[in-house]
C-alpha cells in the first residue's frame, strides 16, 4: 500500500508540474536564456513629415533584442540608426506591443531609457540591458521618437520579428 501511495503522489506531482509549464507557455514567460530573439528594420514614418512641416528627411536602422548574457530576466537591446539629416539630435526609443503606429503604450516609458544621440558621422548606436518583459511569439514593435515621447512624436518604427533559438 505505501508504494502505491508513493507512486500516485509522484504521478500527481508530475501532472501538476506539466500543467504549470503549459500555463506558463500559454501566458508567455519572462525572458529566459533559452528564449529566442526579436529583430527589426527601422523605417521612417513618412506621414510624420507633413505633421511637422519639414522637407523629406531620412532615418533608417536596425534593432535586435535577445536575453542578456549578464543580467538574468533582462533583454540585451542593440540599436543602430543612420541619418545624415539629424546630426546632433537625440532620439528616444521604446518597445510596445502590437504593430507599428497602432497607438499602443510603450512597455517602458522612453524617458526612462538611454537616449540615442546622432553623431557627426550620422550614426546612433546603443547596446544596453533593459528590463523589457517580452513574450515569445507575441507581436511587438520598436518606436523612435523625436521632440517628445508621445505617439505623435514617433518618427520611425520597426516591426519586431521573433526568431526561435536554434
- Do 22 and 43 share a structural domain? no
Q: Are residues 5 and 42 in the same domain?
A: no
Counted domains in the chain? 2
Radius of gyration of the chain (CA): 21
Are 68 and 117 in a shared domain? yes
Nine cell digits for residue 37 = 530573439
Query: Are residues 12 and 64 located together in one domain of the fold?
Result: no
Per-residue pLDDT reduced to its tens digit, 107-136: 999 999 999 999 999 999 999 999 998 988
Q: What is the pLDDT of residues 58-88, one digit of tens each?
A: 889 999 999 999 998 899 999 999 998 889 9
Quick one: 20 and 46 in the same domain?
A: no
- pTM for the whole thing? 0.75
Determine the structural domain holding residue 53 and report its residue range.
37-163
Tell whether the model's pLDDT for residue 142 goes beyond 70. Answer: yes
Measure CA of the first residue to CA of the last residue in the chain; give whole Å.
Answer: 46
Same domain, 88 and 22: no
- Claim to verify: residue 155 and residue 113 sit in the same structural domain: yes
* 107 and 147 together in one domain: yes
- 72 and 153 housed in the same domain: yes
- DSSP state, 154? E
Q: Are 102 and 131 in the same domain?
A: yes
One domain for residues 150 and 84: yes
pLDDT at 13: 40
Q: Does one domain contain both 64 and 122?
A: yes
Of the ranges 38-42, 124-128, 145-149, 157-161, which one carries the lowest mean pLDDT score? 145-149
DSSP codes joined into one string, 96-129:
EESSTTS-PPPSS-GGGS--EE--TTSEEEEEEE
Cell representation of residue 71: 543580467
Amino acid at each position: 500500500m505505501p508504494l502505491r501511495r508513493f507512486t500516485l503522489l509522484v504521478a500527481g506531482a508530475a501532472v501538476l508540474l506539466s500543467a504549470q509549464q503549459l500555463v506558463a507557455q500559454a501566458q508567455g514567460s519572462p525572458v529566459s536564456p533559452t528564449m529566442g530573439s526579436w529583430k527589426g528594420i527601422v523605417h521612417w514614418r513618412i506621414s510624420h513629415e507633413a505633421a511637422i512641416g519639414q522637407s523629406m528627411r531620412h532615418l533608417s536602422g536596425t534593432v535586435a533584442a535577445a536575453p542578456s548574457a549578464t543580467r538574468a530576466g533582462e533583454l540585451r537591446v542593440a540599436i543602430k540608426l543612420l541619418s545624415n539629416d539629424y546630426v546632433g539630435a537625440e532620439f528616444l526609443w521604446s518597445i510596445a506591443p502590437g504593430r507599428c503606429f497602432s497607438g499602443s503604450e510603450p512597455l517602458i516609458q522612453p524617458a526612462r531609457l538611454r537616449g540615442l544621440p546622432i553623431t557627426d558621422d550620422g550614426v546612433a548606436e546603443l547596446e544596453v540591458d533593459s528590463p523589457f518583459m517580452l513574450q515569445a511569439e507575441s507581436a511587438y514593435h520598436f518606436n523612435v521618437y523625436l521632440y517628445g515621447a508621445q505617439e505623435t512624436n514617433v518618427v520611425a518604427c520597426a516591426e519586431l520579428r521573433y526568431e526561435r533559438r536554434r
